[in-house]
Amino acid sequence: MNYLTMKRSVPFFSILLLAKTISAQTQIGNSDFESWETTTSETAEPVNWNSFKSASGTWASFGSQQMAQSTSVRPGSLGAKSVRIFSKSTLGVVANGNMTLGRIEMGSATASSTSNYNYTVASDPNFSEVLAEAPDSLVVWVKYTPVNSTGALARFSAVIHNNIDGFKDPNDVAGSNTVATAILNFPSIGAWERLAVPFTYVSSASNAAFINITFTTSSIPGGGAANDELLIDDLELIYNQSTANMDYPSNSNIRVFSNESELQLISNEAMIGNYNIYSASGSLVQTGDLAQSIPFKSISGVYFLHLQTEKGLLIKKFIKL
């Protein structure tokens, strides 16, 4: 059996409790990396994820196995596996470890060539991931061990795009088909660490159709050194926006302004009730009684203010500079 035919998206749903509202939102298939297509080390890939052994392009036959199961899992994990990607060097040319929800195109022997990219095959569930929703951020556990830690950066890239076939990362990321991006370059991490990366929306979330996610051992194509290693575990999309907003009176014109030390709420109604402030990763940062002025001195970032009044729950997104 061709092992590519075994790759199927395994969608599942997580229940996210935000204040008094419960909603189910789509998650990435096999985001805990517990399911694998085969135990054969030369072709092992996690279900729903791809690397060089399932690549396309002129140089695809030269793709080597740079992915493996690992029994090292993040603290508190309920699973027993993570995924390990690693770099290799052939005649002094480094091939970065690369894992994607799409398919790798190996179009050139020159690592930096625009003929090399990861792309969505919209018609093939083996090489695409449907996502028609609007997550606010993505969290994932990683452990990054480069051979030379000075200046080394691994890379994570999540791109939500519209219903177009063949969307290329990184070639098309700055183009008009992109809906949102969550991209992070990060240095050596000696122990498991949870990263939270907010999505930046550049067009209407209603255009969302697919998401392509890529992990690589170096932010520079052909960069790093042989045997750089990146372990990945328990990836999750975070949804802080709630359908509760739909039940809130549409004529309630509540605006939120943030400065260095406080939030200012401007409204045509009395501020009576309570509030919760959540970070982009879903952690509760602050809670209290509603007021027109709320002291808030947390670090810079994207936050979500949950306003609970007798009229219902309203969620407002704001940026703390």
Longest dimension (CA), the chain: 70
- Angstrom distance (rounded) from CA 206 to CA 204: 5
Among 22-31, 63-72, 109-118, 171-180, which is the least confidently predicted range?
22-31
Contact indicator for 82, 99 with CB cutoff of 8 Å: no
Residue for token pair 């969290």: 139
Whole-model pTM above 0.75? no
pLDDT attached to residue 281: 65
Q: Which CATH number fits domain 3-238: 3.30.830.10, 2.60.120.260, 2.30.30.40, 1.20.120.1200?
A: 2.60.120.260
Contact 127, 120 (CB under 8 A): yes
Token pair 């209290």 is found at 288
DSSP 281: T
DSSP conformation letters of 219-249: SSTT-S-TT-EEEEEEEEEE----THHHHS-
- Find, among 235, 245, 257, 276, the residue nearest to 320 by Cα: 257
Which ranges in the chain belong to alpha helices (H)?
A: 244-247
| pLDDT tens track for 35-55 | 998 767 777 899 999 999 999
* H or E, element range at 214: strand 210-216
Fold classification of 244-320 is Immunoglobulin-like (2.60.40)
In the block, tokens 């996502």 appear at 131
Res. 8: pLDDT tops 50: no
Q: Where are the domains of the chain?
A: 3-238, 244-320
Per the model's pLDDT, the better-predicted residue between 234 and 311 turns out to be 234
- The whole-number average pLDDT for the span 198-214 is 92
